[in-house]
Amino acid sequence: MFHLNKDRAAGIVLGTSFLITMALALFILAFLLAESLPVLREEGLSFITGQVWYVAGDIYGALPMIYGTLAVTLLALIIALPLGIGSAVITSEILTGRTRHIVKSLMEMLAAIPGVVYGLIGIALLTTSVRDLFGLMDGNTIFTAGLLLGIMILPTIMTLSDDAMRSLPGELRAQGRVLGLSHGQTIRRVVLPGSIKGITGAVLLGVSRAMGETISVMLVIGSLDRLPTPIYNVFTSGQSITSKLGREGAEGLGLGLQWSALAGLGLMLFISVMALTFTGNIIRGGVRPKKSKNHEVTG
């Protein structure tokens, strides 16, 4: 007779939950792939290079959305990178003990504010400020979305860079001082280069967060499926992949080629974000401090 003992029962129950967790990510990828096949078959390469997204004629070119995603992400990075690393230098190399802990906790609070609240701030404050500051017709622009995202990913970049710098052994700094380097030189020549892997990982995770953020971008980007002219003019309305999905998702869900095209957008987003997350985590893996805080998860 087959006897089900407690150990085996626990194994089955726990194993099931383990399998569920493991299967989820794979399932999402497989589902997106399957659903986007029709549009890839229909549009081929022009799904990526096409500039026209015209549902009534079943024409789906995602280039404006791809451009929008890259543009807002790049802008966010330009804003968050210097601020994040600069602040990390302060928390990691200057502040100690309690003050450092408080500053880092404050940054984690900034990360915890919901995206829709950032969106509300964007609509009520940022769009009008950007409009008046730059003398634009309207403040719902790619630039506004990038600015908002920059603020949103700042805590991720800052806290993870801080972790990376702190994980460097103290002897390195001592050696720097022995060699006659000043405090600032030690940081510039020893600490920053030494923690470059960790910082790169932090940046990649920040970028992946920026790419996947939906609500705040959707509220301020202007939702226009068109490449700006000239192409670097970020002071016009645009569309990111996420804002397109947020705007058109509910209407196009599950039906016809339009849904397949939306799933295709989702697939592109999924693959890019996965690539960044994996690379970020792998790079960071080498320099991870003993007690990792996993900000990519909490953020």
Question: Least distance to another protein from the beta carbon of 245, Å?
Answer: 5
Pick 43 or 248: Cβ nearer another protein: 248
Angle at 190 between CA 189 and CA 195, to 5 degrees: 115
Tokens of 281: 């985590």
What are the φ and ψ backbone dihedral angles of 53, each rounded to 5 degrees?
-120, 100
Alpha-carbon dihedral 211, 215, 216, 218, rounded to 10 degrees: 90
Pick 116 or 196: Cβ nearer another protein: 116
Residues written for the chain: 299
Question: Least distance to another protein from the beta carbon of 24, Å?
Answer: 5
Question: Least distance to another protein from the beta carbon of 226, Å?
Answer: 8
User: In a 3-state reduction of DSSP, which class is residue 289?
Assistant: coil
Phi-psi region of 49 (alpha: psi -120 to 50; beta: other; left: phi over 0): alpha
Question: Least distance to another protein from the beta carbon of 172, Å?
Answer: 18
Contact 70, 146 (CB under 8 A): no
Pick 24 or 174: Cβ nearer another protein: 24
Q: DSSP label at 90? A: I
Pick 44 or 82: Cβ nearer another protein: 82
Q: How many CB atoms lie within 10 A of CB 77?
A: 20
Question: Least distance to another protein from the beta carbon of 296, Å?
Answer: 7
Pick 31 or 134: Cβ nearer another protein: 31
